[in-house]
Amino acid sequence: MHQAREFKKYCFDNPYPLEPTKIYKENNIYSIRIRTIDDKLFNYFWTEMPGFENDDFRIVAAYGDIVPQRPLESIRSITPAIIKTESGYWENTQGVDFFLNALNGNMLRKYEFFTGEKIERNKVFFFDANLQEKPCTILYKKALLFGNKLELLIKEDQLSQNIAHLALGVGICENNTAGTGFMEYQWVKRKRNNLEKAVIKC
């Protein structure tokens, strides 16, 4: 499902409930959310996955739902967002602006890849960001990945909203096939001030 080296049409979060020891226990039941922008993949998860079993787990049930495209106030990471540099974890050599620019650029590339639309390079789809200071770690292919949890406040224009909705289906940043960058969402509850912030604060 993820052999090809290209952006993937799905993302997922961690099995729930989380175990305090971070080790999942045999014969316990856990739930996991998988989102996708692909109808065929959605139908596969819904119809073919129940009953699947291997040496690690057995899928006992599955159900599907559609996230409607309503105006988004914000999106918040449930699993850490990963941005890598040549020297490893970004914060070792770079500042917050680097991370946010890389995050934004990654989503613009994903949007262009999946829609075929071209976007101006200076487009930013969020107007504020709250970044959790302490990094998180994920074990992936016998290596530790460092990432961050964050919240993005989404601009009101249609393109920004479309990019944010795409993030719900494919995840933000890198290594989404490792369960990173899975986002929760908050609908707009009230009318915003028309004046958006010009400076990103973290």
Q: What are the tokens at 122?
A: 């200076």
The dihedrals phi and psi of 82, each to the nearest 5 degrees, come to: -110, 125
Over residues 95-99, the mean pLDDT reads 96
Angstrom distance (rounded) from CA 197 to CA 110: 25
Specify the CATH number of the domain 72-187: 3.30.70.1900
Sign for the CA dihedral angle at 125, 129, 135, 139 comes to negative
Over residues 101-130, the mean pLDDT reads 97
Over residues 180-202, the mean pLDDT reads 67
Residue type at 103 in one-letter notation:
L
Residue 199, pLDDT > 50, answer: no
Question: Are 71 and 39 a contacting pair, CB within 8 Å?
Answer: no
Sign for the CA dihedral angle at 81, 83, 89, 90 comes to negative
Over residues 147-155, the mean pLDDT reads 97
The two beta strands, 72-77 and 84-85, are unpaired
Helix axes 158-170, 96-115, angle to 10 degrees: 90
Taking the domains of the chain in order of start, what are their residue ranges? 72-187
Closest by Cα among 145, 120, 124 to 135? 145
Above pLDDT 90, what percent of the chain?
74
Angstrom distance (rounded) from CA 57 to CA 130: 36
Residue 196, pLDDT > 60, answer: no
**What does the pLDDT read at residue 201?**
35
